[in-house]
Amino acid sequence: MTEPMGFFTDTTVCIGCKACEVACKEWNQLPAKNGGQNTLSGNSYDNTRKLDGETWRHVKFIEQFSEDRAKQGRWLMMSDVCKHCVQAGCLEVCPTGAIVRTEFDTVVIQADTCNGCRDCIAACPFGVIDINTVTNTAQKCTLCYDRMSANLTPACAQACPTASIQFGPVERLRIRAKERVDQLHEQGKSEAYVYGDEKVLGGLNSFYLLMDKPEVYGLPANPQLPSKRLKSSSLLSAVSAGVVGLLALIGLRTRRDGEEAKAGEAKAGEEAKGGEAKEG
């Protein structure tokens, strides 16, 4: 395997131009929403709304202003994409082996092997994966595997005019990210930090420099793998099975008692009839 490759997205220099979205759509030949007749979301300039099987790059616009707009506010922008997690939930649950880890340590879905079961959609804590309505298979960013194989930069990073999306070996990108955070701290922007280090699912191969809490950007503060919930789920299943078993035993006992009571009443009735017949 070659050294892990990925993205470092510096959100402080993103201008929301959406060049990355367009480049991704064009290179990967992804269809437009509703035949290109998309409706306005009403959520700032974010009409893409979310990542899905036909949109592998999504520029988020977060407006932070007071209601009366009297105070100075700010816009936060972030080009979101698949995180290519070191510990990937989608890879963990795929029943057909359609999701694989490449020699670049990226996570790719093989459309010709995917059966469209949607297990990976539920397993992804970032809401990245969805069904492509054209192929009816789960799809997401491949980090331009075909371009990387030809020693080319992924289309989104190539198109980014401000170098907000930076591509390269993950180890070098992490050094660059730390240097950028230090630089911002020196400028008095102490809120700057890196999201996606080794504490998050073993590390994200696509990580971000953020200026606010993860939830503000629509990212989970503490994403979990499906296997992390295995113990609690197993315990709940065992308790549920015990309760069901107990109720079944109670039901069986109640039914048996009822049958015995009916049998007793029938026997008593027969004995009473027999007594009346003797007296007659």
Averaged pLDDT for residues 144-161: 98
- Tell me what pLDDT residue 234 has: 45
Could you list the beta-strand ranges (E) of 48-141. 58-64, 74-80, 99-101, 107-109, 130-132, 137-139
Short-list 77, 27, 90, 94, CA closest to 216:
77
Residue of 268 and 28 predicted with greater confidence: 28
Between CA 95 and CA 245 the distance in angstroms is 31
Query: For the segment 178-231, what is each residue's pLDDT rounded down to a tens digit?
Result: 999 999 999 999 999 999 999 999 999 999 999 999 999 999 999 999 875 544
Query: For the segment 4-33, what is each residue's pLDDT rounded down to a tens digit?
Result: 999 999 999 999 999 999 999 999 999 988
User: How do beta strands 58-64 and 5-10 pair?
Assistant: unpaired
Domain extent listing, the chain: 5-224, 226-280
Query: Given pLDDT bands bounded at 50, 70 and 90, which one contains residue 235?
Result: very low
Domain 5-224 has CATH 3.20.20.120: no
Short-list 81, 82, 78, 83, CA closest to 211:
78
Q: What is the DSSP letter of 126?
A: T
Predicted structure pTM score: 0.80
Short-list 82, 20, 78, CA closest to 44:
78
Q: By mean pLDDT, which of 50-54, 256-260, 267-271 is the weakest?
A: 267-271
Between CA 127 and CA 117 the distance in angstroms is 16
Query: Given pLDDT bands bounded at 50, 70 and 90, which one contains residue 71?
Result: confident
Instruction: Give percent above pLDDT 90 in the chain.
Output: 70
- Contact between 58 and 130 under an 8 Å Cβ cutoff? The reply is no
Half-sphere exposure at residue 10, Cβ-oriented, CA atoms within 13 angstroms:
20
- Tell me what pLDDT residue 261 has: 67
Between CA 194 and CA 25 the distance in angstroms is 27
Evaluated on CA atoms 136, 113, 6, 227, the torsion sign reads positive
